[in-house]
Structure 1
Amino acid sequence: MPEGDSVLQLANRLQFMTGREVLHTSLRVPSVATVRFDGAVCEAVWPYGKHLFMQFGDAVLHTHLKMEGTWAMHLAGDRWRKPGHTARVVLRLEGAPHPRPIEVVGHELGLVEVFRAREYQERIGYLGPDILAGDWETAGRAEARSRILARPDREIGRALLDQKNLAGVGNEYRAEICFLAGVHPARPVRDTDVDEILAISRRIMWANRNSPIRVTTGVRRAGENAYVFGRNRRPCRRCGTLIEKDFLGGGEDLERVIWWCPHCQPA
C-alpha cells in the first residue's frame, strides 16, 4: 500500500519529466477538468509524505494515491496497461530524443487538485513534518514530537497514522514500528517513549526509501520481511506467540487493522 517511501520512489521515477514541455493535458476530474498545462514546462516533481506534487509554470498539480492509485509511463500510442476509464490525469510530454511523445498517466487517483505555486505552503500547512525529508533530524523530529505529545491520552497507533503529526507513515509501517518499540498500538501516548518511536520510524523508513520491497526484519525473502504486519495467528518471530489483530480508530479517524504480539507488545 502506498506510504511515504512509495511516493518518494514514484517521484524519483518521474524526475525525467522536469524540463519537458507539456503537449497535451487531460485532467479527468470535474473540479479541474478545464485546467491545461499545454505549452508549460514541468519545473519540478517532488513528494511530501504521501502526497505528490508537479509544478508547471505557476501551477502546481497535487495528487494522492489513496489506496488504489498508480502512475504509468509509456510512449504515446502504446496500449495502456490499465483501462482508460480509470485515468484521472493524462499528461503528454515532449519525448526528445525519442521521436514519440511520452505519456504520464495517473490511474484511480484519490485526489487531484491544482493551485498556484505561491499557495503551496498554505496548502500543506496542516501536514506534519515529512519523515523522509532532508531536514528531519534538524527540525522535523522535534516538531513531530511536539504534535504527538500535544494529545497524551490518544493511542500511539492513531497518533502515528495522523498525517497532521508526521507525514508519510501508513498502516504497514505503523504495525512494524510499534512492534520494534515493544508497544501495543492502543497504548496511550503518555505511556510510550515518543523519542524512541520516532527514531525507529525514521530509521526503518529511511532504510527502505529506495527499496522495491519493504523490509523490517532484515530478511528480504517473501513472507519473511515483516514482523507482525499481515501475520494474524502466525507465530511471532521473536517469541513464538501467535500474532493477533483487531481494529483501531473510529470517530475522527478511519478504523484500521492493527497487528501485535501479545507477549512482545503487552496491552
Structure 2
Amino acid sequence: MFSAICSLHSHLTTFNRTHTTVVAMPKTSAPRLPKPGSHRAADPSHVETPLALKRRARKLNRTLAVGYPDAHAELDFSTPLELLVATVLSAQCTDVRVNSVTPVLFSLYPTAADYAAADPEELAEVIRPTGFYQAKTRSLIGLGTAIAEKHGGEVPRTLEELVALPGVGRKTANVVLGNAFGVPGITVDTHLGRLVRRWKLTEHEDPVKVERELMELIEPKEWTMFSHRVIFHGRRVCHSRKPACGACFLAWQCPSFGLAGTPDPEEAMARITSPDREHLLALAGFGED
C-alpha cells in the first residue's frame, strides 16, 4: 500500500511539472452605470434628512480625494501678494492665461507699493490678455495702495480685512487664506457652484449662501481641499456643457447623472483629456490604474 501511494505521488509530481494550467483572467468590462436621474436624491418625492445630506456630502468628498489626491490651486505664485494678484486676474479668465501673464507682471511689480505707484496704462497693457483689464488695473492699484498704507505692505490674514481691499470678494479672500496662510475656506467659483447644485448639496445660486451651506456639510479642516477637488472635477470631467457622465467615477453618487451630459461611455471618455485621464477612467471602471 505504501509503495502504491508513493508511486501515485511521484506520478502527480511529474504531471504537475510537465503540465501548466493557464487560468484566463477576466477581462475588464465597462461598469454598469445608473440610469439617468435614477439616484434617489433626484426623486422630488424623496426628502433627504440633514444628517443624510451631510453624510452624502462627506462621502462625495472622500471619493473626490481618491480621484484627485494632488488637487491644488492651479495659479502660479510664490508669495501671498502674488496669489492675491493672480486670483484677481483670474476673474472671467482661465488660470492658464493668467499664468502666461504673471511672470512678467510679478517681475515688474514685486511689492504692494509697486502696484500702488504703477502707471495705469503700463499696468493695463501687461494684464490686457486676462480680459476686463481696465477694471482689474484699478483693483490692483487700489489693493496695492491699501496694503501698503494700512497693512505695512503685507497681505492681511483675515477674511474681513481681505474683502475690504478693492476688487477682493469672498472667493478671492478664501483662495488666499487657504493657499497662502493655511486658513480653511470654501472657494465658490463657477465650477464649484455648478457641481454642488448638480449633486443637490444646495439649490442656491448666491455664492455666499452656497459657501455657508457647504460649511455646514463639510468638515472645516477639509474646506480648502474640498474646494480644490471639486474645481478639479469640474475642469476635467463635469464640464459646464455635456459633462462626461458615462465615464465619471462619481456616477453612482450623482443625483444628476446623465441629465445634463452624456451617459454614453465612449462619448464621455473622449471628453476627458486631462493629464490624469487614465487614473480617472480606471476609477470609473475603464482600464487599469
Looking at CA atoms only, which structure, 1 or 2, has the larger radius of gyration? 2
Query: Which structure's residues are more often strand, by fraction?
Result: 1
TM-score relative to the length of structure 2: 0.33
Query: Which structure's residues are more often helix, by fraction?
Result: 2
TM-score relative to the length of structure 1: 0.35
Greater RCO between the two (CA within 8 Å, min separation 6)?
A: 2
